[in-house]
Chain A
Amino acid sequence: MRTQPHRRRRLTSWVALTTALALVLVACDADGPLVDVGDEDDTDTAAEDPAEAPEPEVEGPEGEPLKIGLVAALSGGAALFGVAAQNAAQLAVDELNEAGGVLGRPVEFVARDSQARPEEGVSQARDLILSEEIDMLLGPVSSGVALAITELAHEHEIPFIVHTSNTEALTNEEWHPYFASVVPNTGMEARAQGVDLAESGYTQWATISPDYEFGQRQTGTFVETITELNPDVEILQQQWPELGESDLDPFITSILGSGADAVYSPLFAGDLITFTRQAHDLGFFDRVYWTALYETDALQELGDEVDLEGVRAYSRCPFTIDTAQMADFVDRYMDRYDLVPSDWACMAYDAVMLWAQVVEAAGSADGQAFADNVAGFEFTSLRGETYIRDVDHQAAIGSYISELTWSDEFGMYIYPTAVPVPAEDIWLSEEEVLQARN
């Protein structure tokens, strides 16, 4: 009765259909939000949600307020990087107001959720520009969203500063004069690593990277750079686990079997944490030289679980950078949010401060005035004195590479001597940038 012929076959086809649908779902998900690296910002401060807290009544600056907008992933997998940026930008804005505002006018901060989706990001950014009439737009977490809204900023002549998303397309083919970047782009990061490791003595390399735009681009540039600088370098194996893969064992054992003596990886966040745990249990760190993108969040999460002493890691903006500005910032940030600022927080703070300094220097918050003044602008960042290059408005900020060491003070591994590979050594030349635009 119930078990009529074909019932089972139909069931099977339903299952097959479901699986196919699920696959499509996952495929879209993996390609969609081009999260550029970021990470869970070990924080529960999302609950404090500064954007929704009532604006503190600031006495001092008067007149029509200037508005800063942020469109970033405040929910979903990349939320914690977005929230870190939101926290830091809010702190920066409050500090500007305490110091008398910008051009003597108070500064307001509005944050919107892009859900890491380009369409949503564009629609939120458009609303910020048209309804909120913002004077500056802070960049999102994901490069996909950044590429979608940079065009909008161009159209409306709104200063757009990126601090987390860093695809090289932003400074190359999609560049416009209202754009600026305080984060080294993917090309710079990967070239810095290639330059740093070309003469390390290791020649038999393997790579393991997240299988999507960011991982592919960064790994491609690294391989290109290191093999060009040192012809002895051979790439023995390249592994591409899916984003969010929970079982990396087969990848790890496969690399161990490849005979590689060194391994490069742009895995990040949860994937890097999973990798580190599983690799440790397979004796990986005793057998190969290993370098990866250990940013503050991942290090915080890992604590002392795995011995990372001496691992040569790279990061965009470690909180241990030795400048007076950074030391002050870390104190203030920890006071307010009760955790060390992640790379994403530091860079968002720098983005707000760059804008404020340019506006003060220009004497106007007008978009055109920003574009005219930001080119070649010299400013004080948390990472020290730096400048904005004329050709692509890229801050001359290098990539930080050093050997991790344990810190009792912070209860995590830190970058003890955060010295960057200088931007001038790793960015594309002005000619190359111009060429890429044609």
Chain B
Amino acid sequence: MTLDMLVLQLLTGLSRAAVLFIVAAGLSLVFGALRIVNVAHGSFYMLGAFLAVTVAAFVGGPIGFVAAIIAVPLLVALIGAIVERVALRSLYDKEHLLQLLATFALLLVFHDLVRGIWGERPHRLTAPDLLRGPVDLFGIIFPRYNLFLIGAAIVLAVGLWALMTRTGFGRDIRAAVSDPEMLGMVGVNVPRLFTLVFALGAGLGALGGILASPRSTVLLGMDVEMIIQAFAVVIIGGLGSLVGTAVGALLVGITFAFGVLFVPQAAMAMVFLVMVAVLVFRPYGLFGIPER
């Protein structure tokens, strides 16, 4: 086992973590502010990928991919906002079980919707040539696109951090995470804030789906595959914590990559072992706020 090999494995773990972070950040935001266990978050991820295929084909050329990255998250954010208004708003005071069932129903609805529109066939989203093919990093062959993914996740993490800490909107979200009723009392339009947060979360899910697609296959079922890992990330990191999500994504991505290397039969089990360990020692997640 050479050092090169370990570095390469680490890099594959990082690019896995990049996608996980983008998707889980949306999940965690919604979680933190709305306290909704949104199973349908995976649907936004899948919807983003499929819409991107259509938008990219419609616009055409390398610009198509860029157009998809810009337009599709906005479109899915809009869909998210509608979903929040229509399906979820009346459930905030209800039991968690009811919310869970509602978002699970949405997952099924979106699955059939995607199948109805795009069919059973797998689709393909092509990145511009600039981002394709292997690149030689001091003797390590690594996909150029994966470097782009890692970069995109870092940019997004910084952007989200700035949004949360440097803007009024971010301040409101943080306030909603700790006490939404108090927030309402000081005059913030909480229902509107919730709709915006949900839209932002949906947009992030879609962005994750778009960014993940050029290196794999756009197909039905990618929603469920992603949501499980995204939940693991959020549980490890702590509800509603951006830093926690980043750390959780890194832990899950890297644990998986080295799991594959050292215990091929149980790579995914390693990820869940980490999750269980975190739950045992810090039930509120690594960066979650402990109970008061």
Instruction: Spell out A's residues near B (CB within 8 Å).
Output: 1-3, 5-12, 14-16, 18-19, 22-23, 25-26, 29, 40, 42-44, 46, 75-77, 79-80, 237-240, 242, 244-247, 249-251, 253-254, 256-257, 269-270, 273-274, 277-278, 280-283, 301
Contact = CB atoms under 8 A, between A and B. Distances in A.
A42 B121 contact: yes
B141 A15 contact: no
B235 A6 contact: no
A258 B228 CA distance: 29
Contact of B39 (A8, A22, A40, A79): A22
A42 B122 CA distance: 8
Interface residues of B, number: 71
A247 B216 contact: yes
Given A18-B39, A18-B100, A12 B224 contact: no
B231 A19 contact: yes
B227 A22 contact: yes
29 contacts: A2-B181, A3-B292, A5-B292, A7-B291, A8-B291, A9-B284, A11-B31, A12-B235, A12-B288, A15-B31, A16-B235, A19-B228, A22-B224, A22-B231, A40-B120, A40-B121, A40-B122, A79-B120, A80-B120, A239-B264, A249-B12, A249-B143, A250-B13, A250-B256, A250-B257, A254-B264, A277-B215, A281-B133, A282-B142
B144 A281 contact: yes
- Chain A: interface secondary structure? helix
Given A10-B96, A12-B279, A257-B1, A2 B264 contact: no
Nearest to B9: A253
A332 B234 CA distance: 54
Interface string B260-292: 110011011000100100010001110011011
A245 B37 contact: no
Contacts of A249: 12, 15-16, 143, 146, 257
A19 B16 contact: no
A257 B8 contact: yes
Interface of B: 1-2, 5, 8-9, 12-13, 15-16, 19, 31, 35, 37, 39, 96, 100, 119-122, 124, 132-134, 141-146, 178-182, 212, 215-217, 219-222, 224-228, 231-232, 234-235, 239, 256-257, 260-261, 264-265, 267-268, 272, 275, 279, 283-285, 288-289, 291-292
Contacts of A251: 260, 264
Contacts of A19: 228, 231-232, 235, 275
A14 B134 contact: no
Contacts of A242: 225, 268
- Residue of A16, A25, A242 contacting most chain B CB atoms (<10 Å): A16
B23 to A, nearest CB: 12
Contacts of B182: 1
B215 to A, nearest CB: 6
Nearest to A2: B181
A256 to B, nearest CB: 8
B96 A281 contact: no
A270 B120 contact: no
A247 B267 CA distance: 13
A266 B234 CA distance: 34
A23 B229 CA distance: 10
Contact of B143 (A1, A274, A278): A278
Nearest to B121: A40
A46 B288 CA distance: 49
- Residue of A242, A253, A254, A283 contacting most chain B CB atoms (<10 Å): A253
Contacts of A11: 31, 35, 37, 96, 239
B91 to A, nearest CB: 14
Contacts of B219: 244, 270
Nearest to A74: B120
A12 B289 CA distance: 12
Contacts of A278: 143, 215-216
Contacts of B15: 247, 249
A238 B264 contact: yes
Contacts of A43: 121
Nearest to B38: A18
A256 B35 CA distance: 44
Contacts of B12: 247, 249-250, 253
Contacts of A239: 260, 264
Contacts of B217: 246, 270, 273-274
Nearest to A75: B120
A301 B124 contact: yes
Contact of A240 (B222, B231, B256, B265): B265
Given A254-B9, A278-B216, 19 more contacts: A2-B179, A12-B235, A15-B231, A16-B279, A79-B120, A244-B225, A246-B226, A250-B16, A250-B257, A251-B260, A253-B5, A254-B260, A254-B261, A274-B217, A280-B134, A281-B145, A281-B215, A282-B142, A282-B143
Contacts of B35: 11
A397 to B, nearest CB: 28
A8 B284 contact: yes
B264 A240 contact: yes
Contacts of B215: 247, 277-278, 281
Interchain residue pairs A-B with the least CB separation, the first 4: A281-B143, A283-B141, A257-B5, A246-B216
Contacts of A237: 264
A240 B264 CA distance: 7
A213 to B, nearest CB: 16
A409 B181 CA distance: 68
A46 B120 CA distance: 9
A304 B8 CA distance: 27
Given A15-B235, A18-B37, A257 B285 contact: no
Contacts of B1: 257
A254 B9 CA distance: 7
A274 B125 CA distance: 12
A42 B217 CA distance: 14
Contacts of A16: 235, 279
